[in-house]
């Protein structure tokens, strides 16, 4: 069912209420998602992106109910990833010769995935196509935001930026627009999306935001490929991205641990108490890694100025949950974040040293040798953990 965006522009995507994991199992989507596809009906009829492959028949059936598929003059593939290109295989059965406009890298990704030699037309930043009624589509390459093949498309006249993944959120909704959904929920999903998907590309994003600004485009609507469309003050999300791309941190310290018999957990809670006692303004959060969604935790790390990471020693090293999480942190390429480590042990006690090495390798500035505790913490050890927390604040 198509929904009106503005004038002759319609949403023809798919709302996926059930989605709980995305990118395989790499990204949790507690609130589902949408795959936004757009139809423009000017003198030329244009389709921008499609939907994820499992919905390809439904997508094409719905589209065929709205328009004669053969009336589509151009297809714009802003990005080759399967959640936006997945319905092309079904669609192109009906209109095999329709030109597909995309970047050179998107030709590689689309051919690599679907092994079809469709009518590809390669575009670069600044290239335009005339769609009639004095309106044009202008292309802007968005390489590494977040794939090498990504681009955005700007519709003149209506001033809509079809930004693809950039500025999106994994948020299933029938409401379509940012002013029609809960603002807190929208912000939470937007920052999680940035933290988990775009953090590694923050430097690229800073340059790209400057480039888009230099175009001096009047942007009235930002039509993303996931979640809601920004029509109420659309530049708010661009301004937010500019903040997030600039080594973002809040006045937050996050204590993250896994534990076997609660010794390291006891340290974690006392470290958090020490931090709060030393500075009541600092937001302190504590998470058991094994019981917390990793993508939500990445978001908490994104917001933190310092993380304090704990693991007991097991087999001369750290628990696999902690090692795996640091692997994710390394992928994120966080900049300008501090770290410290702690852990209980019964025999050899290597975990803190191992954690320091892993955190340093992941790009964190390790600010202390860390806190080790032999066996379960007694009252003195709890006080020592609190003092350790206080010392972190001072550093």
Residues annotated as part of the active site: 23, 79, 81, 83, 146, 165, 193, 226
- 351-361 vs 320-332: helix axis angle to the nearest 10? 20
* Residue 226 binds ligand FEO (CB under 6 A): yes
Measured from the CB atom, the residue of 27 and 120 that comes closer to ligand FEO is 27
C-alpha 90/C-alpha 310 separation (Å) is: 49
Ranges within 307-366 binding ligand FEO (CB under 6 A):
none
Total site size for ligand FEO, rule CB under 6 A: 9
Which tokens go with 67? 């328009």
Measured from the CB atom, the residue of 86 and 263 that comes closer to ligand FEO is 86
C-alpha 309/C-alpha 322 separation (Å) is: 8
CB of 196 to ligand FEO, least distance (A): 12
Measured from the CB atom, the residue of 114 and 372 that comes closer to ligand FEO is 114
Per-residue CA distances from 13 to 101, 202, 271, 354 (Å): 19, 28, 48, 47
- Only one residue has tokens 């640091």, namely 326
CB of 168 to ligand FEO, least distance (A): 7
Q: How far apart are the first and last CA of the chain?
A: 57
CB of 25 to ligand FEO, least distance (A): 16
Point out which residues pair with 177 in neighbouring strands: 229
CB of 153 to ligand FEO, least distance (A): 15
Determine how many CB atoms are found less than 10 A away from the CB of residue 366.
18
Residue of 31, 41, 56, 79 interacting with ligand FEO (CB under 6 A): 79
CB of 316 to ligand FEO, least distance (A): 40
C-alpha 220/C-alpha 155 separation (Å) is: 10
- The DSSP letter of residue 38 is E
- The DSSP letter of residue 317 is B
Ranges within 83-142 binding ligand FEO (CB under 6 A):
83-84
Question: By three-state DSSP, how is residue 197 classified?
Answer: helix
Measured from the CB atom, the residue of 63 and 197 that comes closer to ligand FEO is 197
- Only one residue has tokens 């790390």, namely 301
* Residue 146 binds ligand FEO (CB under 6 A): yes
* Residue 14 binds ligand FEO (CB under 6 A): no
CB of 147 to ligand FEO, least distance (A): 6
* Residue 165 binds ligand FEO (CB under 6 A): yes
Residue of 16, 49, 73, 81 interacting with ligand FEO (CB under 6 A): 81
Taken as a whole, the chain contains a residue count of: 395
Rounded to 5°, the CA angle 34-290-16 comes to: 10
- State the residues that interact with ligand FEO by CB under 6 A: 79, 81, 83-84, 146-147, 165, 225-226
């Amino acid at each position: 069912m198509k929904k009106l965006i503005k004038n002759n522009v319609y949403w023809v995507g798919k709302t996926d209420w059930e989605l709980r994991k995305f990118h395989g199992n790499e990204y949790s989507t507690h609130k589902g998602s949408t795959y936004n596809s757009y139809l423009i009906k000017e003198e030329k009829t244009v389709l921008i992106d499609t939907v994820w492959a499992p919905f390809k028949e439904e997508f094409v059936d719905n589209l065929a109910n709205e328009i004669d598929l053969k009336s589509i003059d151009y297809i714009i593939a802003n990005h080759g990833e399967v959640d936006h290109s997945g319905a092309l295989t079904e669609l192109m059965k009906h209109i095999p010769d329709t030109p597909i406009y995309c970047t050179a890298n998107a030709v590689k990704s689309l051919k690599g995935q679907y092994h079809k030699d469709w009518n590809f037309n390669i575009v670069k930043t600044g290239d335009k196509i005339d769609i009639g009624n004095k309106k044009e589509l202008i292309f802007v390459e968005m390489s590494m935001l977040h794939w090498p093949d990504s681009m955005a498309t700007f519709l003149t006249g209506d001033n809509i930026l079809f930004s693809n993944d950039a500025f999106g959120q994994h948020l299933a909704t029938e409401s379509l627009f940012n002013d029609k959904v809960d603002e807190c929920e929208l912000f939470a999903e937007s920052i999680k999306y940035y933290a988990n998907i775009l953090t590694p590309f923050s430097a690229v994003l800073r340059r790209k935001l400057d480039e888009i600004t230099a175009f001096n485009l009047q942007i009235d609507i930002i039509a993303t490929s996931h979640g809601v469309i920004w029509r109420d003050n659309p530049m708010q999300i661009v301004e937010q991205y500019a903040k997030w791309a600039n080594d973002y941190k809040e006045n937050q310290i996050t204590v993250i641990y896994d534990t076997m018999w609660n010794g390291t957990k006891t340290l974690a809670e006392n470290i958090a108490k020490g931090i709060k006692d030393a500075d009541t303004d600092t937001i302190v959060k504590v998470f058991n890694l094994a019981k917390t969604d990793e993508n939500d935790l990445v978001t908490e790390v994104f917001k933190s100025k310092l993380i304090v990471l704990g693991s007991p020693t097991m087999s001369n090293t750290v628990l696999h949950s902690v090692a795996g999480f640091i692997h994710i942190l390394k992928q994120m390429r966080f900049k300008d974040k501090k770290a410290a480590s702690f852990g209980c042990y019964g025999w050899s006690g290597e975990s803190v040293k191992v954690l320091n090495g892993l955190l340093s390798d992941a790009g964190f500035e390790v600010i202390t040798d860390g806190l080790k505790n032999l066996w379960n913490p007694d009252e003195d050890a709890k006080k020592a953990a609190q003092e350790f927390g206080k010392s972190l604040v001072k550093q």
